[in-house]
Structure 1
Amino acid sequence: MSLLQGKVVCITGASRGIGRGCALECVKHGATGLILHFYGDSETQNEIESLKQEIVAINANTTIVAVPGDIADPETSNKVVEEGVKFVGRIDVLISNAGICPFWDFLSTPLSIWERTRSVNLDGSFYITQRVANQMRNQTPQGGSIIGISSISALVGGGQQVHYTPTKAAILSLMQSCAVALGPYNIRANAILPGTIATDINKDDLSDVAKREGMIKRTCLRRLGAPDDVAGPAVFLASDLAKYVTGASLLVDGGLFVNLQ
């Protein structure tokens, strides 16, 4: 079923984890253009090249534009949109995914860790959302779908995430307010709140076997999430199946949040 047939999708932080999973799922569902933002160091450059190969293996006709840069720099968002639109003409979907989570004890968290986490997770989300929203407003036909990757951490706390959880709560709020601000332009804005997804962002934290097993036991489905567990809901929110869904938050956590036992 081609839920995204003919659509152009822009994804930040696309080289690995949830962003990579979303890119592959979007192609499987018919997206004809992908604008892939990645950080730009040698490691992520190699990852984006391997992602391109995977995309071509699914559909060799997919147009791929890869744009490097630090999402915390507002010029990166300008570059992503300008270069993307130059090659594919428009943007139908934004998946604002780029983010970091350096675990740190609250009482000893350096100011630099707070500032960097906020600038990447929140400032970067604001920059790319605003820039893409302007493109969606001005293009013909007008409109699109914006999806902010928030977190279950928008709803609950974490002792080593005091610098991180506020940024994810802010992304949820950003999507809610964008739904109000952008509705008149036929632009929908929604948030996805993943639970514990096994990606590079938390691999060191989950290397603690006792902690990993504890997270699995707390999750109703008795497993950690994988990137494609988030990618499926992202495709839904990007598609016309969700054409009357805006300002919503979708918890994708395997039942972690509801399990008090």
Structure 2
Amino acid sequence: MNMSDILANKVVVVTGASSGIGRAIAIRAAEHGARAVIVSDVTEAPREGGEPTAAVIEALGVTARFVKADVSKRTDNDALVAAAEDLGGVDVFVANAGITLRTDGADVPEEDYRRLMSVNLDGPLFGAQAAARSMKAKGKAGSIVLMASMGGLVGAGITVAYSTSKGGVVLMAKSLADALGPDGIRVNAVAPGTIDTELLRTAAGIAEASEGFRKRTPLRRLGQPSEIGDAVAYLGSDLSSYVTGHALTVDGGLLAVI
């Protein structure tokens, strides 16, 4: 049984959807009534184990496809959006794919820095461009959601490159909202706080800091990936029809307090 029908008749494409937050976004889209979900990642196997995301979605009675894509490549983003064409074309595009670095900070190595930027910053732009072209060609008032982070709203010495990339995503969403608004296409960002994922538990520095984040969070707990999925579903739905250029913080109140 669907949680809601707020995404009814919509085709949703999610990058980085094999694991973690992306997996939850894709599954939640199905649970909120999406007609079809395109699951994309560099590998189909979930980091946390279990059935592939597309299989979980199909078990819910929703059409699902897995499309392998490296979002740092413009051609892969184009092919990913094209994979939704025979389903009616993309209605909601979620640029979720992103990476962190084991060695980040003021002395981040150039090679690592450029690799992170190619995924975290180039990827959302190329994906949004491909989705927007498809939406405009079909006259769709679609929704594009870019995955930012609380680390893109405030800085941290252990995430210099990561925070720089996510801060860029926030301003990318605002700028694209202005560029695409006349075509009826909304663009927003979601900025998660400390979310309980496999990546959080294994990322150097962040894993150690997570307990401190939890204690400072007004709700006194880590967020769940499904809660980010619900936020994305809202921004993808017609319930947010007058919301664009916004960075929605989903952090349990962490950034609201000192």
CA contact (8 A) 1:38 1:45 kept: no
* Alignment match, 1:68: 68
Q: Which runs of 5+ in 2 are unaligned?
A: none
The Cα of 1:152 is off from its aligned counterpart by 0.6
Query: Identity rate of aligned residues, in percent?
Result: 37
The Cα of 1:205 is off from its aligned counterpart by 3.8
- SS of residue matched to 1:163: helix
The Cα of 1:47 is off from its aligned counterpart by 6.4
CA contact (8 A) 2:174 2:187 kept: yes
2:55 matches 1:50:
no
Determine the C-alpha separation between the residues in 1 that align with 2:92 and 2:233: 10
- SS of residue matched to 2:78: helix
Question: What is the number of equivalent residue pairs in this alignment?
Answer: 255
* Alignment match, 1:133: 132
Determine the C-alpha separation between the residues in 1 that align with 2:55 and 2:145: 25
Determine the C-alpha separation between the residues in 1 that align with 2:39 and 2:104: 33
Q: Which amino acid aligns with 1:162?
A: V
Determine the C-alpha separation between the residues in 1 that align with 2:45 and 2:89: 29
CA contact (8 A) 1:63 1:88 kept: no
After superposition, the Cα gap between the structure-2 partners of 1:196 and 1:92, relative to the gap in structure 1 and judged at 3 Å, is same
* Alignment match, 1:154: 152
Determine the C-alpha separation between the residues in 1 that align with 2:180 and 2:91: 14
Among 238, 241, 245, the residue aligned to 1:240: 238
CA contact (8 A) 1:101 1:202 kept: no
* Alignment match, 2:79: 79
CA contact (8 A) 1:220 1:254 kept: yes
2:32 matches 1:33:
no
The Cα of 1:11 is off from its aligned counterpart by 0.4
CA contact (8 A) 2:124 2:169 kept: yes
2:16 matches 1:18:
no
- SS of residue matched to 2:160: coil
What's the RMSD between the two structures over aligned residues?
A: 2.1
After superposition, the Cα gap between the structure-2 partners of 1:206 and 1:218, relative to the gap in structure 1 and judged at 3 Å, is farther
Q: Which amino acid aligns with 2:151?
A: S
> Per-residue CA shift, 1:13-59, capped at 9, x if unaligned?
0101111111111111110111111113x745996952222212222
The Cα of 1:110 is off from its aligned counterpart by 1.3
Q: Which runs of 5+ in 1 are unaligned?
A: none
Matches within 5 A, 1:88-167: 88-140=87-139, 142-167=140-165
Q: Which amino acid aligns with 2:220?
A: R
Name the TM-score, length of structure 2 as normaliser.
Answer: 0.92
- SS of residue matched to 1:229: helix
Determine the C-alpha separation between the residues in 1 that align with 2:208 and 2:151: 21
CA contact (8 A) 1:15 1:48 kept: no
Q: Which amino acid aligns with 1:111?
A: E
Q: Which amino acid aligns with 1:56?
A: E
Residues 8-17 or 153-162, more deviating? 153-162
CA contact (8 A) 2:15 2:40 kept: yes
